Amino acid sequence: MRTPIIAGNWKMNKTAAQAVDLVAEMRSDLEAAEGVECVVCPPYLAVPDVARLLVDSTVAVGCQDVYWKESGAFTGEVAAVMAAEFCQYAIIGHSERREYFGETDQSVNSKIKGALAAGLVPIVCVGESLELRQAEKTESWIIGQLHGAFEGISVEQAIGIVIAYEPIWAIGTGLAATAEEAERVCGQVVRATLTELYGSGVAEQIRVQYGGSVNAGNAAELLAKPNIDGALVGGASLKAADFVTIVRAAQAQSRAR
């Protein structure tokens, strides 16, 4: 049985001091959620302080991006091996990174390999724009993203990777995909493609999250679906009570399964 994973992507929000306060506010509730992996992903400058706060905790720390080179003249970048000093997870290929900073399927693939080499668990984001959805190209687009992301990734490596299906049209808009549509894409597109690449036995072990306007009100319905193994949470992860509610919804579904 796949363990649900709830990750909070804080994006460019919270100073280091504010990040510590937020984690301190919800730490005990997150630690009490048995059967669920909880991950907080603050901005890079807040990562060390949050990591120190959670050093003996079951709550994991993630970063929002990594670079694949271990060192060198790459001003402004943070190597995966550097992040691994503080983090256990790394978000890779988020649609905002693709749209605003020129990320491609090839750079996503390189970052996944760099993260794996450093001992980080990649949370790999895929998803379609509104234009692609309206053109009925959701399936082909996501299949292409997955093929690009997993190029040269072994079976053993693939099993540990987390996939986050995030329809771009639902990120930060308040327009979440229906639970049925999220389940369809997570199962019939994402997991089906993983089955094509690695076989059903491996695909059934890989966790697939949903992300895109996940909140305290819709989390339970989304997480009840059999192919949705957690959530990559944006705005709601900045509110302690909302994030805890989402984690508790995942815990309830874990127990039900």
Determine phi and psi for 140, rounding to 5 degrees: -65, -35
Cα–Cα distance between 140 and 255 in angstroms, integer? 35
DSSP state of 4: P
Residue 176 to residue 170: CA distance in whole angstroms: 5
- C-alpha 90: how far from its chain's center? 8
pLDDT at 255: 83
Active-site residue, from 96, 103, 166, 183: 166
Confidence of residue 256 (pLDDT cuts 50, 70, 90): confident
Q: What's the whole-number mean pLDDT along residues 122-144?
A: 96
Mean pLDDT of the 116-126 span: 98
Token readout for 220 is: 């339970």
Contact present, 148 and 135 (Cβ < 8 Å):
no
pLDDT above 70: percentage of residues in the chain: 100
- Domains within the chain, CATH numbers bracketed: 5-256 (3.20.20.70)
Strand partners, 62: 89
- What's the whole-model pTM score? 0.97
31 among known catalytic residues: no
Spatial distance between the Cα atoms of 43 and 11, rounded to a whole number of angstroms = 6
Mean pLDDT of all residues in 138-153: 98
CA dist., res. 218 & res. 208, Å (int): 17
**Please, is 136 exposed, middle or buried when counting C-beta atoms within 10 Å of its C-beta (0-12, 13-18, 19+)?**
exposed
User: What angle is formed at CA 250 by the lines to CA 39 and CA 140, rounded to 5 degrees?
Assistant: 80
**Confidence band, pLDDT 50/70/90 cuts, at residue 47:** very high
- Whether the per-residue pLDDT at 175 is higher than 80: the answer is no
- Specify whether 166 is catalytic: yes
Residue tagged active-site, from 94, 103, 128, 183: 94
- Output DSSP code: residue 133: H
CB under 8 Å to 63, separation ≥6 — which residues? 41, 44, 47, 78, 83, 86, 87, 89, 90, 91, 120
Comparing CA positions, the residue from 117, 58, 112, 57 lying closest to residue 90 is: 112
* In the block, residue with structure tokens 């290929």: 93
Residue 81: both structure tokens together: 């091996």
Q: How confident is the model at residue 174 (pLDDT cuts 50, 70, 90)?
A: confident
Residue 173 has pLDDT above 90, yes or no: no
Residue 165, pLDDT above cutoff 90: yes
> Are 207 and 190 a contacting pair, CB within 8 Å?
no
Q: Which residues contact 159 (CB under 8 A, 6 or more apart)?
A: 202, 205, 206
SS3 percent helix, strand, coil of the chain, rounded to 5, is 50, 15, 35
User: Is 80 exceeded by the pLDDT of residue 257?
Assistant: no
